[in-house]
Structure 1
Amino acid sequence: GRGILASIAVLRLSGVECLLIHPSCAWCAQEEFGRVRTLMSRCDLSQNLQKRGCEAYNIENPRSTTRVVKSEPLSSKGSGPTQYDVIQIMPQKISLSLRPSDQTSFKVQVRQVEDYPVDLYYLMDLSLSMKDDLDSIRNLGTKLADEMRKLTSNFRLGFGSFVDKNMSPFSYTAPKYQDNPCNGYKLFPNCVPSFGFRHLLSLTDKVDRFNEEVQKQMVSRNRDAPEGGFDAILQAAVCKERIGWRKEAFHLLVFATDDVPHLALDGKLGGLVQPHDGKCHMNEKNEYSGSTEMDYPSLALLGEKLAENNIYLIFAVTKRHYVIYKNFTTLIPGTTVEILDADSKNIIQLIVNAYNNIRSKVELTVWDQPEDLSLTFTATCQDGQPLPGLRKCADLKIGDTVSFNVSVEARGCPPPGTRQSFTVKPVGFKDRLEVSVDYRCDCGCTHRARANSSRCSSRGQYVCGTCRCDTGHLGARCECHEGEAGAVYQGACREAEGKQICSGRGECSCNQCLCYESEFGKIYGTFCECDDFSCARHKGVLCSGHGECHCGECKCHAGYIGDNCNCSTETLSCVSDDGQICSGRGNCACGRCQCTEPGAFGDTCEKCPTCPDACGTKRECIECRLFNSGRLADNQTCQRLCKDEIITVETLKTEDPNAVLCLYKTENECVMKFTYSEHASGMSVLTALKEPECGAAPDAMTVLLAVVGSILLVGIVLLAIWKLVITVHDRREFARFQSARSRARYEMACNPLYKQPITSHPVETDFSMYSKSYNGATH
């Protein structure tokens, strides 16, 4: 604060000018204070003024304040005897007192109450291409009422239809087509004349009436492909009495079509140059009477009227037009888009899903915000974590309470006595918070001003310790006349010795500088050293248009930073669909994501095929979209988080070099395969198998036969080996025998195998011994 004040000499500032310098600046209104310029400035920080002798009660330092005027408690249930007093936002009225550049804040709580009444108006395209859809909704009323009564006990249903402007070139206008535009069309020879919008059934709880009206309807035929649906939407929104919208109910407008709509300026093709006035134009036949008089409404006008009448618009469109209508939802607050089957058979589930999706989020909007006010939001959703820059909470359950902290800052001062107001309102709610604003741009001491005071040489008004001199007089005490100049005054007009008098941008008169006027802006300061046009610029705009130039320095408005205030602190544009800042893969700088994860890209770094968690993230989308299972299947966020195109195939091929192959095991121990790739257009594409690959269970008989066969096979092999070994052995013995036989020599007629029974053995005998014995015996 001291540094800010040091750059601005404030001796002769008035109290009002002092308060505008900075929210920390205070003004001393004490008499006989501030005689010495360099030490005794009346404009300074409050603590500095007190140190220099200014009494606390003489210090003017107003602060911004918030006062709650009306705050009734939130309701817990919608229907019942007190449904007209249902409160879904708290508080209901607040009064703000703002000092410029000083912030104050207040807290807003919002709750989607249970069993809230619902009004649903079904607006159907009855062009020729919707004939099969008309057949499908013949009994829609009864079935839809049964489903919606599971969500609310107080439900009403209405019906309307549209085709296009009954004029060239939008419809067939030749005489032979006047009564029957399908004249000569072989497939459907009979249809009714074209019409812009026709209200057929006001909102009622007698759903049989809906079925009766649908049974009566016939299709029509227009010439070009686009339809006049936006004309019908606007009339259904603004003709509240005809449609029967209840003030205390939740308003749903279902828009069913299979083609694109005509937009503003298309009417010039038929000579319609008058813009739509946004009013109800319904004749006694409940038909839109301005169809051939005014152009189609613009998206901005549609968004304004839908929000003004608290209507949620649900686009129920065919798949090939989903992207177009999805882009419309970003331009029209409070709208959603769902994919409609070619014959509208899924319309009931579509409406229920859209209703649940709408009821699962709360988003704040600001109406009639004054230009000199800056608002910043911080959301605290069901997890209790503050989210700066967000004014929206998603994935809520009925009955959840969320809160938003709203900071308000005044960037300037309107004319004295000005009171302004604005409204904070959840999208689609009838409940609102009304905020009134007054400004504290002046000091309280101004009410004690003394005219022709002797302290001002009887030539001026003494206000808050300073003199406001009459015309023609100057000086701290109004002691000088304009035009007086001299050396005695010159020194007081230099910022320092050697500096130019009045910085070369003013004249010195009666010891004070009179700054020149400039075509570029204002020159001010004790020595004309400051101006409001010499600050940094961005794209040629001073302080980027998001700040004020004070003495060469940009003082940024709330929500912006940087030397030229070009960097937004808002993070709303960086929040991805899953609620994370930059999808958890980058940082939000100046309202844009700077992706830090290698391979990540996209506005919120949401695209990253090569990231480690890419397969895991896309797996959840495959599970919920194809098999209605997994973490996202139960919390109604599948359609919001999983917007990638999914292509199912019988056999997965990975010919695309940029595609990432992902695999995971299912609960049944099967393997699911899919690829993740990014098209040049930026759209993510998932190509997955229709069914996971599962191994078949083994057959018991097959296993038994395989085991028995294996045993027999092993036995046969062993027998074959044994036979082979024996044969080899026998052959070797036979070969040995043959060899021995070939070597044997024997006489003819002698069997070589025969052996004599008597064996002869030669014995050697010594006959000399026997001879002696014999001789002895003879003697």
Structure 2
Amino acid sequence: MLLDMDQCLLFVLLLMMGRNGLCQQGQVCSKSVINSCGDCIRSGPYCVWCKQLNFTKAGEQEAARCDTQAQLIERGCKRDEIISPKNNLSIVQEHPLSVSFNQQEPVQLTPQKISLKLRPGLSTTFSVSFKRVQGYPVDLYYLMDLSYSMKDDLENIKELGKDLFAALNSITGHAQIGFGAFVDKTALPYTNTNEKKLQKPCDENQQCQAAFGYRHVLSMTPREDEFKKKVTEQFISGNLDSPEGSLDAMMQAAVCGNKIGWRNSSTRLIVLTTDAGFHMAGDGKLAGILEPNDEYCHMENNLYTKSIEMDYPSVGQLAMQLEKNNIQPIFAVTKNVETVYKELSKMIPKSEVGVLSSDSKNVVHLIESAYNRLSSKVTVTHDNLPDNVRVVYTPQCKHAGLPAENEGVCDNVKAGQEISFNVTVTAYSCMTDKSFTIRPLGIKDTLTVTLSTNCECECEDPQDKSHPHCKGKGKVSCGICSCSEGFVGQFCECSIGDRDERSLQASCQRHNDTECEGRGDCVCGRCQCHTTESGNSYHGDFCECDDEHCEKFQNKLCGGNGKCNCGTCKCNPGYEGSACQCKVSEEGCRTLNNTVCYGRGTCKCNRCECKEGYQRPQCKICLGCSDPCQTKLNCIECLGFDSGPFKKNCSVACSQSIYHEMVDQFTIPTRQCQQKDTKGCWIKFKLDQLVGEDNYRAEILKQRDCPEPPSVTAIIGGSIASVAFIGILLLMLIKLLIYMKDLKEFRKFENEKKKSKWAEADNPLFQNATTTVTNPTFTGE
């Protein structure tokens, strides 16, 4: 019976899935140079070794013993003769999760220590559980901008101490509050350096304190009256420019733990209140401050002493120290700088932004809301991950994101609710006793993972050094012969010194060239390489390699930072380059936003190698690239106004390369574009290029300028009038042509008439009438 058309299509589809889908998911062993079982195991996660005696055919290389398990079984290797090391996982320390907080150290993450022994390339997965302890202590450090514009806010904060403690006590019974203040560096152009202005930067009739960068006012205390007293003693100060030194203050509050009074077991919060933006790394050059921030504590008498000696910290430096010290910032800012601090929050893990009212009266409610958002979001990540190791997190919770390599996230987690994460670890190279830590952001608890690899074979070979399989001249090692001294060959069948036949000698020639490249002797069909003048050995199947002819740097082989292997430098850890001439570093490739070459190149030898079109030193500018205002027009149109050629697949075509928002007006000046869309309307938008080649953030004006639609009545009336006018015009033209033609014929007739001569004689054909009849009634009139 013939198949109908639908059945035929289904059969073809299943056939394609079987050929392409199933085969691609099969295990593959990518073999390179295999001389032993250990070489095989290190070649890939699916490579296994057959130790079965006489498994290889006559003349076949022993490397044929290395393949996937399915292939070896198919070729006749017994299952119990296959060597395939497995992953081993052991839990070293696993204290149970704490139910509630007590004076002892609570446990919020379990297990605490795990030991892994992995085969390179083969993943293993284990589970990590987390439960936020109810009543866990909270340390809140209130860091306030005391520039003149915050005068009204300071007066209100002096009265909010009671409300702040009440809010924290509703969260935990173990709350502490500290207080600090900041303005900006006391140097031009940030602050007026006139001596009088430094002592009193405000108006004469205004009570204020001397200019300062950052001052620590109150260490962590559970006493409400002490907090109120210290805050009441504070007065406003002043400076010149609008951005403030908030990053300086946050850095010192993070690294000066002993002075601030952070407890070891607590949730640490910094509440930053301000109405202005912030200076960051590089801005110090305006005042001639060139020394980078060293991320150390420099506090004497509660004042930051390096304010005018060190530059502001970068956002990356601050984010790293906040994460290292388990501090979660809450940015309580006014509406005018909300956008700026939301962008900052994206670069600082576990941070929140809230909008202050004009007089900061809502700060208590803002802190409560931000704390609830921070505490309900659990983010698990890792530190000090060894090279060639990959970790992927899969959250096991109701509100979870997709599996991610760098971190796992569970949201809307309540206090006392237990959640878990599946952690998948893969090592891609051999290593011994490496370790890294897994921890929730903002939480002290950690899991230490000790990692080593299983790169060798345990074949349980017989100890007989005169095994019959090796002609009694060697022992068996994982199925192949390890010959005694003086014997060589696959089965130790050749004695050193015996001359082989010409066929054996031919196997020692590469491309019919000199035997063993002239650097060794052919013994039993294999090359035994000579030593070089320096005493090292040539090596390789044909003695083609030596370890003395590699690139030099500063007259040193491999720069003195590596070893030469067959003409190629193998660099020591921490060095790279063709001659190991460079230290592994990305410092010269780091950009102001703490990326490497803006994601448009790779860092080699501490220099950016940019992708086509992008220019050094940091791949920021592209020469010859298309104008993004034009190339992104279709995406802007579909994202902003749901129209244009990408309308049907806008999310697929555009959402990965453009992050957009609709605005009423532009704020920060940048690259502004004005383009005409498919409907003839003018669209105005602003583009900021983010990290990567094709990655933009767009601000799109909500309104677009479109031409007014034409009047239908005018068009119809105009059309009818035009048709009538053209018709009349055509009729007149036809009438004119006919008149011209008649006039021409008439004139021709007139001319012919003038030329004619009439004959005066009678017509000879004419004859008179023969009969004449008279009408009697005719009167002649």
* Range 96-105 or range 444-453, more displaced: 444-453
The 5 A counterparts of 1:336-735 are: 336-382=352-398, 387=403, 391-414=408-431, 418-445=432-459, 463-466=477-480, 475-476=489-490, 479=494, 487-489=502-504, 511=525, 513-514=541-542, 516=544, 680=686, 682-683=698-699
How far the C-alpha of 1:123 sits from its partner, in A, is 0.5
How far the C-alpha of 1:402 sits from its partner, in A, is 2.5
How far the C-alpha of 1:325 sits from its partner, in A, is 1.6
* Cα deviations by residue, 1:335-375 (Å, 9 ceiling, x for unpaired): 22222223222211111110011012111111000011011
Q: What amino acid is aligned across from residue 161 of structure 2 in structure 1?
A: G
Pairing 1:63–2:90 present? no
Seen in structure 2, the aligned counterparts of structure 1 residues 600 and 354 have a Cα distance that, compared at 3 Å, is farther
Identity %: 36
- Paired residue for 1:295? 311
* Cα deviations by residue, 1:703-762 (Å, 9 ceiling, x for unpaired): xxxxxxxxxxxxxxxxxxxxxxxxxxxxxxxxxxxxxxxxxxxxxxxxxxxxxxxxxxxx
How far the C-alpha of 1:461 sits from its partner, in A, is 8.4
* Range 443-452 or range 230-239, more displaced: 443-452
Seen in structure 2, the aligned counterparts of structure 1 residues 234 and 494 have a Cα distance that, compared at 3 Å, is same
Pairing 1:315–2:341 present? no
Pairing 1:73–2:101 present? no
Pairing partner for 2:209 from 189, 192, 198: 192
Whether the aligned pair in 1 keeps the contact of 2:144 and 2:182 (CA below 8 Å) is: yes
Q: What amino acid is aligned across from residue 194 of structure 1 in structure 2?
A: A
Q: What amino acid is aligned across from residue 140 of structure 1 in structure 2?
A: L
Q: What amino acid is aligned across from residue 91 of structure 2 in structure 1?
A: V
How far the C-alpha of 1:246 sits from its partner, in A, is 1.2
Seen in structure 2, the aligned counterparts of structure 1 residues 452 and 204 have a Cα distance that, compared at 3 Å, is farther
Q: What amino acid is aligned across from residue 45 of structure 2 in structure 1?
A: P
- Paired residue for 2:195? 175
Whether the aligned pair in 1 keeps the contact of 2:401 and 2:409 (CA below 8 Å) is: no
- Paired residue for 1:14? 36
Pairing 1:140–2:160 present? yes
How far the C-alpha of 1:164 sits from its partner, in A, is 1.6
Whole-Å separation in 2 of the counterparts to 1:402 and 1:296: 39
Whole-Å separation in 2 of the counterparts to 1:7 and 1:89: 40
Pairing partner for 2:179 from 145, 156, 159: 159
How far the C-alpha of 1:323 sits from its partner, in A, is 1.8
Pairing 1:266–2:288 present? no
Whether the aligned pair in 1 keeps the contact of 2:282 and 2:311 (CA below 8 Å) is: yes
Q: Please state whether the residue corresponding to 2:39 is helix, strand or coil.
A: helix
Q: Please state whether the residue corresponding to 1:444 is helix, strand or coil.
A: coil
Q: Please state whether the residue corresponding to 1:293 is helix, strand or coil.
A: coil
Seen in structure 2, the aligned counterparts of structure 1 residues 473 and 239 have a Cα distance that, compared at 3 Å, is farther
How far the C-alpha of 1:86 sits from its partner, in A, is 2.1
Whether the aligned pair in 2 keeps the contact of 1:482 and 1:509 (CA below 8 Å) is: no
Whole-Å separation in 2 of the counterparts to 1:321 and 1:384: 31
Q: Please state whether the residue corresponding to 2:42 is helix, strand or coil.
A: helix
Q: Please state whether the residue corresponding to 1:23 is helix, strand or coil.
A: coil
Q: Please state whether the residue corresponding to 1:210 is helix, strand or coil.
A: helix
Seen in structure 2, the aligned counterparts of structure 1 residues 5 and 231 have a Cα distance that, compared at 3 Å, is closer
- Paired residue for 2:238? 221
How far the C-alpha of 1:292 sits from its partner, in A, is 2.5
Whether the aligned pair in 2 keeps the contact of 1:197 and 1:232 (CA below 8 Å) is: yes
* Cα deviations by residue, 1:145-188 (Å, 9 ceiling, x for unpaired): 11222222221111011112223333222233232233xx46x6
Whole-Å separation in 2 of the counterparts to 1:272 and 1:452: 77
* Cα deviations by residue, 1:398-449 (Å, 9 ceiling, x for unpaired): 33333221111111113xxx20111111110111111110110111249988
Seen in structure 2, the aligned counterparts of structure 1 residues 501 and 388 have a Cα distance that, compared at 3 Å, is farther
Q: What amino acid is aligned across from residue 111 of structure 1 in structure 2?
A: K
- Paired residue for 1:116? 136
Whole-Å separation in 2 of the counterparts to 1:190 and 1:459: 100
How far the C-alpha of 1:239 sits from its partner, in A, is 1.4
Whether the aligned pair in 2 keeps the contact of 1:122 and 1:254 (CA below 8 Å) is: yes
Pairing 1:107–2:123 present? no
How far the C-alpha of 1:201 sits from its partner, in A, is 0.8
TM-score of the superposition, structure 2-length normalised?
0.61
How far the C-alpha of 1:191 sits from its partner, in A, is 2.7
Whether the aligned pair in 2 keeps the contact of 1:227 and 1:262 (CA below 8 Å) is: yes
Whole-Å separation in 2 of the counterparts to 1:446 and 1:223: 79
Whole-Å separation in 1 of the counterparts to 2:410 and 2:636: 25
Whole-Å separation in 1 of the counterparts to 2:641 and 2:495: 74
How far the C-alpha of 1:76 sits from its partner, in A, is 3.2
Whether the aligned pair in 2 keeps the contact of 1:494 and 1:501 (CA below 8 Å) is: yes
- Paired residue for 1:722? none
Q: Please state whether the residue corresponding to 1:166 is helix, strand or coil.
A: coil
Whole-Å separation in 2 of the counterparts to 1:508 and 1:295: 67
How far the C-alpha of 1:277 sits from its partner, in A, is 2.0
Whether the aligned pair in 1 keeps the contact of 2:384 and 2:436 (CA below 8 Å) is: yes
Whether the aligned pair in 2 keeps the contact of 1:380 and 1:387 (CA below 8 Å) is: no
* Cα deviations by residue, 1:542-585 (Å, 9 ceiling, x for unpaired): xxxxxxxxxxxxxxxxxxxxxxxx9xxxxxxxxxxxxxxxxxxx
Seen in structure 2, the aligned counterparts of structure 1 residues 349 and 402 have a Cα distance that, compared at 3 Å, is same
TM-score of the superposition, structure 1-length normalised?
0.61
Q: Gaps spanning 5+ residues in structure 1: where? A: 522-530, 533-540, 542-565, 567-598, 615-640, 648-656, 659-676, 688-779
* Range 64-73 or range 471-480, more displaced: 471-480
Seen in structure 2, the aligned counterparts of structure 1 residues 509 and 322 have a Cα distance that, compared at 3 Å, is farther
Pairing 1:42–2:65 present? yes
How far the C-alpha of 1:226 sits from its partner, in A, is 1.9
How far the C-alpha of 1:499 sits from its partner, in A, is 11
Seen in structure 2, the aligned counterparts of structure 1 residues 384 and 344 have a Cα distance that, compared at 3 Å, is closer
Seen in structure 2, the aligned counterparts of structure 1 residues 166 and 469 have a Cα distance that, compared at 3 Å, is farther
Q: Aligned pairs, how many?
A: 551
- Paired residue for 2:116? 96
Whole-Å separation in 2 of the counterparts to 1:678 and 1:508: 78
Seen in structure 2, the aligned counterparts of structure 1 residues 267 and 54 have a Cα distance that, compared at 3 Å, is same
Seen in structure 2, the aligned counterparts of structure 1 residues 457 and 686 have a Cα distance that, compared at 3 Å, is same
* Cα deviations by residue, 1:234-271 (Å, 9 ceiling, x for unpaired): 11111112111111111111111111211112223333
Seen in structure 2, the aligned counterparts of structure 1 residues 442 and 680 have a Cα distance that, compared at 3 Å, is same
Whole-Å separation in 1 of the counterparts to 2:471 and 2:306: 72
Whether the aligned pair in 1 keeps the contact of 2:333 and 2:355 (CA below 8 Å) is: yes
Q: Gaps spanning 5+ residues in structure 2: where? A: 1-22, 527-540, 552-566, 569-576, 578-601, 603-633, 648-658, 666-675, 678-682, 688-697, 704-781
